[in-house]
A and B are shown apart, each in its own frame.
Chain A
Amino acid sequence: DTEVTQTPKHLVMGMTNKKSLKCEQHMGHRAMYWYKQKAKKPPELMFVYSYEKLSINESVPSRFSPECPNSSLLNLHLHALQPEDSALYLCASSYGRDDKNIQYFGAGTRLSVL
Chain B
Amino acid sequence: SQQGEEDPQALSIQEGENATMNCSYKTSINNLQWYRQNSGRGLVHLILIRSNEREKHSGRLRVTLDTSKKSSSLLITASRAADTASYFCAGGGQYTGGFKTIFGAGTRLFVKA
Q: Which residues in A have some Cβ–Cβ distance to B below 8 Å?
A: 4, 40-45, 48, 50, 55-58, 88, 90, 92, 97-99, 101-108, 110
Write the B87-110 contact mask toward A (1 if CB under 8 angstroms, else 0): 010001000011111111110100
Q: Which of B43, B50, B97, B106 contacts A90 (CB 8 A)?
A: B43
**Do the beta carbons of B42 and A97 come within 8 Å of each other?**
no
- Are A105 and B43 within 8 A (Cβ)? yes
Given contacts A56-B97, A98-B99, contact A42 B41 (CB under 8 A): no
Ordered by A's residue number, 7 sampled pairs between the chains whose C-beta atoms are within 8 Å are A42-B88, A88-B40, A97-B98, A99-B30, A99-B92, A103-B35, A108-B42
The residue in chain A whose Cβ has the minimal distance to the Cβ of B48 is: A102
Q: Is B2's beta carbon under 8 Å from chain A? A: yes
Are B100 and A48 closer than 8 Å at their CB atoms?
yes
B79 touches A (CB below 8 Å): no
Contact between A55 and B97, CB atoms less than 8 A apart: yes
Count of interface residues, chain B, beta-carbon cutoff 8 Å: 27
Q: Is the CB of A99 within 8 A of B100?
A: no
Among the listed A41, A56, A99, which residue makes an inter-chain contact with B31, where contact means beta carbons less than 8 Å apart?
A: A99
Contact A101 B92 (CB under 8 A): yes
B43 and A97 form a contact (CB under 8 A): no
| Interchain CB contact under 8 A, B30 and A98 | yes
**How many angstroms between the C-alpha atoms of A106 and B40 in the bound complex?**
11
B106–A105 contact, CB under 8 A? no
Least distance between B94 CB and chain A CB atoms (Å): 9
Q: Evaluate contact between B102 and A101: CB separation under 8 angstroms.
A: no
Residue B33 is within 8 A (CB to CB) of chain A in the complex: yes
* Shortest beta-carbon distance from A73 to chain B in Å: 18
Neighbouring B residues of A40 by C-beta, 8 Å: 106, 108
Interchain CB contact under 8 A, A42 and B104: yes
Q: Which of A42, A97, A99, A110 contacts B103 (CB 8 A)?
A: A42
- Is A106 touching B97 in the complex (CB atoms < 8 A)? no
* Residues A42 and B44 in contact, CB atoms below 8 Å apart: no
Q: Complex Cα distance A44/B106, Å?
A: 12
Nearest A residue to B103, CB-CB:
A42
Residues on B with C-beta less than 8 A from A43 are: 43, 88, 103
Q: Is the CB of B102 within 8 A of A45?
A: yes
